[in-house]
Amino acid sequence: MRADRLLSMLLLVQTRGRMTAQELADELEVSVRTVYRDVEALSAAGVPLYADRGPAGGYQLLEGYRTRLTGLTIDQAESLFLVGMPGPAAALGLGTELAAAELKLLAALPAELRTRAERMRERFHLDAPGWFREAEQVPHLAALADAVWNQHRIYARYRRWRAPRDVERVWDPLGLVLKAGVWYFVARKVPGDEIRAYKVSHLLDVEVPGERFARPEGFDLAEYWQKWTSRFERNLIRGEAEVRLSPAGLDRLQHLLGGPAMTQAARANADPPDPDGWFRTTIPVEHIRKAHGDFLALGAEVEVLGPPELRALFVGTARALAALYDQGAPARDERI
């Protein structure tokens, strides 16, 4: 256990640079006194780890020193090759670099770990986009990624859903996110402090003149994205629909509705089954037209009870379908 901790301490200082005893203690979840003892043990083993005194001090390695130890376990070595995403990496202009990095990593691994890692890559593949969806065109992704990395302000034309459609914007790009095969960028609008997420495919033009910006202190991309997506999903729900569902209809909901929250609500709100085995429940919906399309996919496995305007849509659809099919069978084509 201590050997793992010593290796973790060495790798932390090697990758992050100068770190205080308290920072190391927080990362390793030990006491500061334990950090002092571990530093002494590393120094005694010949690791050139030294301390700078004073308020801005901390532990760091002698310049130029790098350990060849990784401490990778079998499971860790295998998992590294599950994070490789050749498609997204190529879109970012990093396809060649990713392949080279994998090759170097394989060469550095012991023979046993190298064999298991190669087997993992041969047997598992990540395909991020959803079914029946063509990849969106993102011609400005590489330039945007470079601006994110170098903290360069961008001047862009962006196509949004409301009028005026095409707008000019100045942003400080803070990060890129790949969600279900769709690229988004998180940026702070200039002037101001508003931070929002935007689709990369909606960028019509991007200029990066080289103006640097300072990132917001404490900004965490993963934390922001989690909060933004939760808020986005909540804002989509603008009403409720009261329905009766057959057991089959209830099971099929998860494949039709816009998100897990809707399916969970449908099950949580469901009354006990009636004598016919059907369930009466209330389901949150985005809007009437969207609910109409979603529930139509359930066919005769759902009866819409309300709101009245949604039921009226179904009544109209049912009458139109009945009129269409009551016209009788189509005339037989004598050529068949």
Q: What is the pLDDT of residue 193?
A: 87
For residues 28 and 6, the answer to whether their CB atoms sit within 8 Å is no
Closest CA to 202 of 170, 168, 160, 167: 160
Read off the pLDDT of residues 199-208 as tens digits, 9 standing for 90 and up.
999 999 999 9
Closest CA to 186 of 216, 289, 177, 39: 177
Longest dimension (CA), the chain: 97
Mean pLDDT for 189-213 is: 93
Q: What is the pLDDT of residue 316?
A: 93
Q: What are the angstrom distances between the C-alpha of 54 and each of 10, 216, 236, 315?
A: 22, 27, 53, 78
Confidence (pTM): 0.57
Question: At which residue do the structure tokens 């499971």 appear?
Answer: 75
What average pLDDT does the structure give for the chain? 81
What residues pair up with 171 in beta bridges, in sequence order?
154, 189
Q: What are the angstrom distances between the C-alpha of 327 and each of 171, 247, 320, 322, 332?
A: 59, 32, 11, 9, 14
Read off the pLDDT of residues 254-275 as tens digits, 9 standing for 90 and up.
777 655 667 788 888 889 999 9
Tokens of 252: 């099929």
Residues with Cβ < 8 Å from 285, sequence gap 6 or more?
237, 238, 239, 240, 241, 262, 291, 294
Q: Does the pLDDT value for residue 173 go beyond 90?
A: yes
Q: Does the pLDDT value for residue 336 go beyond 50?
A: no
Distance from CA of residue 84 to its chain's centroid? 15
Q: Does the pLDDT value for residue 60 go beyond 50?
A: yes
Give the model's confidence band at 80: pLDDT under 50 very low, under 70 low, under 90 confident, else very high: low
The listed range with the strongest mean pLDDT (114-118, 134-138, 236-240, 275-279) is 275-279
Tokens of 77: 């070595």
Q: Does the pLDDT value for residue 219 go beyond 80?
A: yes
Q: What is the pLDDT of residue 86?
A: 60
Give the model's confidence band at 85: pLDDT under 50 very low, under 70 low, under 90 confident, else very high: low
Q: Does the pLDDT value for residue 83 go beyond 70?
A: no
